[in-house]
Amino acid sequence: MNDSFGEETLRLLDETKEVRIETRRDDDAQEHRTIIWVVVVEGEVFVRSVRGDKGRWYREISANPEGALHVEDDRIPVKAAPATEEATVNAVSAAFRSKYQQSSPSSTEAMVRPETLPTTLKLSPA
């Protein structure tokens, strides 16, 4: 299985401000969708929970790492894994600032608070 997204998908995610993430608590649970932000850093896709570990979608995808991103009419199956390296987490914070600061300054600051940093997830194709 390819562990990186194609150029077209990366460009779409990089240019799209808001996506829907599809998660399930477990395989038998009902699908849940939430609007989130997504960033691309060096060809890799990252998301973070603005509500920290209290975010429902974050708790669900942490328990059951297979999900999907919905962008326009596309459903992109993903698998989530924690991104814990300090350099990566810092690069993701910088990407959130670069992409969102101008249009949503207070929400951007909420995304880079210390309590949100541990919820940084790398998404790979599922």
What number of CA atoms fall less than 13 Å from residue 80's CA on the CB side? 26
Order across the sheet with 74-82: list the strands: 32-36, 19-23, 66-71, 74-82, 121-125, 44-47, 39-41
Has this prediction a pTM greater than 0.85?
Answer: yes
Give burial (CB, 10 Å; 0-12/13-18/19+) of 49.
Answer: buried
Q: What's residue 2's pLDDT?
A: 59
Write the pLDDT tens digit of every residue in 53-111: 999 999 999 999 999 999 999 999 999 999 999 999 999 999 999 999 999 999 999 99
3 state DSSP class of 99: helix
Could you give the domains of the chain?
7-125 (2.30.110.10)
For 83, phi then psi, to 5°, come to -110, 110
Q: Are 64 and 26 in contact (CB under 8 A)?
A: yes
